[in-house]
Every structure is written in C-alpha cells, then in structure tokens.
C-alpha cells in the first residue's frame, strides 16, 4: 500500500558509478538482496549515520572506513547485523575483506550497510557466495535493480534522477532509498545512496549532504522510531566536464540545491510508502520563533498516535491536533494568536474553534489522500515542514508479523 503514484523513474547513468546486484537468499529468494556500488578512482564520498546508541556493526565499520577514500559500497537487505555484539563487528569486517578480495582492493575502501531484522547473526557465507555475481553484474544502468535489492518492507522501489547544467556541461545526480517503517531519522534516512559525477572535494560534499539531510530526511516520520542502521551516502565520481565546484559562488549553491531536491523527493517517497499508509500528511508550522521550535511542533503532531489514527479514519477530530500543539513545549505561547488549518479550512482561531468552521468542510479535506495541516503560532518568522502518514490496522499487522 502506498500513497499516490509511485512508479520508478527513468534513471540516467552517472559517469564513474556502476552498480551490481545478486541474490544471497538472506531472508528471501524472490529478488536480489545484495548490492555493490563501485566508484571511479579519485571519487569523493560523504556520509551521515544514525545517532541511535545501539547503532549496527556496519555503521561502526563504515564510519571508520569513510576516512580511507572508499571505492565500494556493500549493502545487504534481510539482516541488519545490529545487536550482534563482537561477532557482528567481525562479520561486517569479514564481508568487507571478502569483497576487497574479489575486486582487488583494500578492505578499508569498502563501506558496509545492512538493513533487516535486528539481533540475528549476519549470514556471511551467503553474502560471500553472492559477491562475484554482483561484481560481474556491475553496470551504470542498474539503478532499478539496486533500488529493489535494498528493500525490506517497502512496497515499491524509490529513485530520483536529476540532470543540471553548469557552464555548458551537465551534472547528473541520482538517488535511491529504502524505508517504510522504523522511520524517524535523527541524521538521515533508513538507507539512502546518492551519486553524482560532479567534481567536488570530500569536505564540501560532506557539508552539502549534511545540509540536505537536515532539510529532507530529518523532516520525515512514519512511526517515531529511529533505526539502528540509518545511513545516507553521497558519492561524487568527478567524471563530469564541469570544473571543480568550489564553496564560494553560484555553482555550489546550484549544485547544493539540486542535491537538496533529490533528498527531499526520496524522503517524501519513504513517507508515501509508510507501512500501512493510506494518507500523506504535510505539517507546515509557520510564524515560529525558531526553526527548532517549528520542527518540534511539527513532529509532536506527526508522532501523535491519536492524530495519526484520526487521519486514517478520515475523522476531522481537530482537538487532537490542538492538544499536540499544546504539549510541544512552546514557551509563553499566546493561545489567541494560534491558528490551525486543514488545507485552506481554518479550524482554530482566537484560542478556539473558528467561527466559520463547519464539520462538513473539515470532513471534505479529511477524505483526501493528501492533506496539509498548517499551524500558525503567531510568534515569529520561522517556517518548517514535516512529512508523515496515518497509522492504520495494516501497520500493526506488518510489524506484528515482521519476523514470521
């Protein structure tokens, strides 16, 4: 179940980036579950990772290896290799060494990523057996296969491809992501991989990614849970004919804006595919004192099970939204200044129900598949948007049966 049209787009090849997949049979044998991404020599690579204290073994290894000029990403689905102790670390390192042997590289040049069930040993032997096939399949056109290989409870593969022009030459930016549940990122998304042929330094690439992640993946929530395996990677092969992008100047701003667009579209796709989701909900908080305050109010609404179930039922129970705003920790909030809207329908004004609000108008909005909740705090100029979805019977079913 997904909200809206969610077909996989045409993905343009990114010069200097190839992808290969294979089926290791980690949890299923229907589709590939191992992905290798190979970067051209002299590529730059940036990444952000989960802040969950129980972060997975591959997160630890990828963080360490990021400093060693990575050339390969190794991703598996079906097993998170999280909560696996010292053995999990050994297993993550072993898979890096196994791939390094196949590609004749250094194990420290491999960034491992895993997603799936927590607390189960990583089937290193199965992954090792699939590596040669995945390497033999390396191709610049394999973005669709790559997006499918990293899926777990996702109902559709998620991808974005964008071409921009700078100084008469093109730069391609492609991204894939996975995620449908355990979504409340505190750095990135569940897994996101973005590649470009831009020529840009690692430091500047890291800054670009951090900014994009903060305004995209850190503005979504499905269920309020932050995964042990969250990671987002931005790779730049340097193969474009566009001169090196420097921090000062319009070229960097143009490039950074394009990366931001790709991240926002991937993040929205995750919410559209929220486990059991039937509605996409945009929560726009305006007139806040600070961005942090606006995000806090937006996420308080988005995390509320009562709000989310009301949306699932198409019930214009606006009191639940009002209560969420009230407990969001806004200091010295003047109630009479707060306004709440469902799309263009004002439901709260002057500290209570708007005089011109009707249940029929609210019901008409709630029956829609996509809804915007606007909160005007009447305190300042800060504006932030948070994306979420409703909470349905299907969400409970998916997660109750996740390991069966």
Which strands make up the sheet holding 345-349, listed edge to edge? 352-353, 345-349, 339-342, 370-376, 280-288, 382-389
Question: What per-residue confidence (pLDDT) applies to 362?
Answer: 97
The per-residue pLDDT for 50 is: 84
Extract the tokens encoding 334: 């003047």
Same domain, 383 and 235: no
Boundary of a domain, candidates 272, 307, 337: 272
Q: Identify whether 3 is part of a domain.
A: no
Q: What is the model's pLDDT at position 188? A: 46
Same domain flag for 303 and 173:
no
Nearest to 399, CA basis, from 266, 225, 147: 225
256 and 316 together in one domain: no
In the predicted model, is pLDDT for residue 101 greater than 70?
yes
Neighbours of 194 (CB within 10 A): 24
**Parallel, antiparallel or unpaired: strands 72-79 and 34-39:** antiparallel
The CATH number covering residue 304 comes to 3.10.20.340
Among the ranges given (150-164, 225-239, 332-346), the one the predictor scored with the smallest mean pLDDT: 225-239
Establish how many alpha carbons lie within 13 A of residue 64's alpha carbon, considering only the half-sphere containing its beta carbon.
12
Which range marks the domain in which residue 288 is found?
280-400
Are 207 and 110 part of one and the same domain?
yes
State the Cα torsion 194-65-190-396 to the nearest 10°. Answer: 150
Closest listed residue to residue 214, CA positions, set 188, 196, 233: 188
pTM of the model: 0.93
Has residue 365 been placed in a domain? Answer: yes
Q: In what order do the strands lie in the sheet with 44-49?
A: 44-49, 231-236, 191-196, 169-178, 158-166
Shared-domain flag, residues 247 and 108? yes
Question: What percent of the chain has a predicted confidence (pLDDT) above 70?
Answer: 95
Res 308 pLDDT > 90: yes
Which sign, positive or negative, has the C-alpha torsion 249, 261, 52, 296? Answer: positive
Q: Are residues 247 and 332 in the same domain?
A: no
Q: Which of 272, 306, 325 is the last residue of a domain?
A: 272
Q: Are 268 and 289 within one domain?
A: no
Q: What is the distance between the alpha carbons of residues 274 and 182, in angstroms, rounded to a whole number? A: 9
Structure tokens at 269: 């796709």
**Res 290 pLDDT > 70:** yes
Check whether residue 253 and residue 316 sit in a common domain. no
Query: Would you say residue 367 lies in a domain?
Result: yes
Tokens linked to 193? 């991989």
**Is 8 within a domain?**
no
Q: What strands, in cross-sheet order, belong to the sheet with 110-117?
A: 17-22, 34-39, 72-79, 110-117
Residue 324 domain-assigned (yes or no): yes
Q: Based on the fold, state whether residues 288 and 392 are members of the same structural domain.
A: yes
- CA torsion angle 106 111 112 114 (round to 10): -170
pLDDT for residue 186: 59
> Rounded to an integer, what distance in angstroms lies between the CA atom of residue 125 and that of residue 94?
10
Rounded to whole angstroms, the Cα distance separating 216 from 156 reads: 20
Neighbours of 96 (CB within 10 A): 24
CA dist., res. 18 & res. 28, Å (int): 25
242 shares a domain with 336: no
pLDDT at 189 over 60: no
Query: Would you say 80 and 114 are in contact if contact means Cβ atoms under 8 Å apart?
Result: yes
Same domain, 314 and 225: no
- Domain for residue 291, yes or no? yes
Residues 324 and 354: their CA atoms lie apart, in Å, by 18
Would you list the DSSP string of 133-169?
Answer: HHHHT-BTTTHHHHHHHT-SS-SS-EEEEEEEEETTE
The answer to whether 47 touches 65, Cβ cutoff 8 Å, is no
The confidence score (pLDDT) of residue 187 equals: 46
Catalytic residues: 189
Query: How many domains are there within the chain?
Result: 2
Q: Stretch 307-314: mean pLDDT, rounded?
A: 96
Which residue carries 């699939």 as its tokens? 130
pLDDT band, very low/low/confident/very high, at 399 (cuts 50, 70, 90):
confident
CB-count burial class (<10 Å; 0-12, 13-18, 19+) for 351: exposed
Contact 180, 221 (CB under 8 A): no
Encoding tokens for residue 168? 């008469």
Q: Which two tokens stand for residue 123?
A: 């089937």
> What is the dihedral sign for C-alpha 152, 154, 156, 160?
negative
Is residue 55 pLDDT above 90, yes or no? no
Give the pLDDT band (50/70/90) at residue 325.
Answer: very high
Residue 6 lies in a domain: no
Is 7 contained in some domain?
A: no
Beta strands in 66-120, from DSSP E residues, in sequence order = 72-79, 110-117
Same domain membership, residue 266 and residue 323: no
pLDDT of residue 6: 78
Question: Of 255, 272, 289, which closes a domain?
Answer: 272
Of residues 53 and 324, more confidently modeled: 324
Which CATH number belongs to the domain containing residue 239 in this structure? 3.60.70.12
């Amino acid at each position: 179940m997904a909200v809206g049209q969610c077909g996989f787009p045409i993905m343009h090849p990114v010069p200097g980036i190839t992808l290969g997949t294979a089926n290791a049979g980690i949890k299923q044998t229907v589709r590939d579950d191992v992905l290798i991404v190979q970067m051209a020599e002299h590529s730059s690579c940036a990444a952000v990772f989960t802040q969950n204290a129980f972060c997975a073994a591959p997160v630890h290894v990828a963080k360490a290896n990021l400093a060693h000029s990575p050339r390969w990403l190794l991703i598996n689905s079906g097993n998170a290799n999280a909560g696996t102790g010292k053995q999990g670390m050994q297993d993550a390192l072993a898979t890096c060494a196994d791939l390094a042997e196949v590609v004749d590289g250094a194990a420290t040049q491999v960034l491992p990523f895993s997603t799936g069930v927590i607390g189960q040993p990583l089937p290193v032997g199965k992954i090792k057996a699939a590596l040669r096939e995945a390497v033999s399949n390396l191709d610049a056109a394999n973005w669709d296969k790559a997006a499918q290989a990293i899926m777990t409870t996702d109902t559709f593969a998620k991808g974005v491809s964008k071409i921009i022009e700078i100084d008469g030459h093109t730069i391609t930016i492609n991204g894939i992501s996975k995620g449908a549940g355990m979504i409340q990122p505190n750095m990135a998304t569940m897994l996101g991989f973005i590649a470009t042929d831009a020529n840009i330094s690692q430091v500047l690439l890291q800054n670009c990614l951090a900014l994009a992640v903060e305004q995209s993946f850190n503005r979504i929530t499905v269920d309020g849970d932050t995964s042990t395996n969250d990671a987002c990677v931005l790779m730049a092969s340097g193969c474009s004919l566009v001169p090196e992008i420097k921090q000062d100047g319009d070229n960097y701003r143009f490039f950074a804006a394009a990366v931001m667009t790709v991240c926002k579209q991937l993040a929205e796709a995750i919410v559209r595919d929220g486990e059991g989701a039937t509605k996409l909900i945009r929560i726009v908080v305006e007139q806040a004192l600070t961005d942090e305050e606006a995000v806090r109010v937006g996420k308080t609404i988005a995390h509320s099970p009562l709000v989310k179930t009301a949306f699932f039922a198409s019930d214009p129970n606006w009191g639940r939204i009002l209560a969420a705003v009230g407990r969001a920790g806004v200091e010295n909030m003047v109630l009479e200044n707060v306004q709440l809207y469902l799309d263009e329908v004002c439901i709260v004004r002057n500290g209570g129900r708007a005089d011109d609000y009707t249940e029929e108008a609210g019901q008409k909005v709630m029956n829609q598949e996509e809804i915007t909740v606007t909160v005007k705090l009447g305190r300042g100029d800060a504006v932030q948007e948070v994306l979420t979805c409703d909470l349905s019977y299907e969400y409970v079913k998916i997660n109750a049966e996740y390991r069966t």
